[in-house]
Amino acid sequence: MMFDEDTQTLEEINRKRTELRRSFRKIINKDRISRFEMDDMFNGL
């Protein structure tokens, strides 16, 4: 697999996933979906 200069490091990917989790949590809290269900969704990422 070829990687170019702007390949994301694992830390950057994890940080972005954390940011996504925070934004999803805000949306999900409005819909009152449990955090366990949210974590199940992210297990596939």
* Distance set, CA 15 to CA 1, 2, 11, 33 (Å): 23, 23, 6, 23
Q: In this predicted structure, what is the pLDDT of residue 27?
A: 72
Q: In this predicted structure, what is the pLDDT of residue 35?
A: 66
Q: Which two tokens stand for residue 43?
A: 């297990």
Q: What is the pTM of this model?
A: 0.40
Instruction: Render each residue's pLDDT in the chain as its tens digit; 45 residues.
Output: 555 556 668 888 889 999 988 887 777 666 666 666 767 767 765
Let me know: does 38 contact 28? Beta carbons within 8 Å.
yes
Unique residue bearing structure tokens 């990422």: 45
Show Cβ contacts of residue 4 under 8 Å, excluding neighbours closer than 6 positions: none
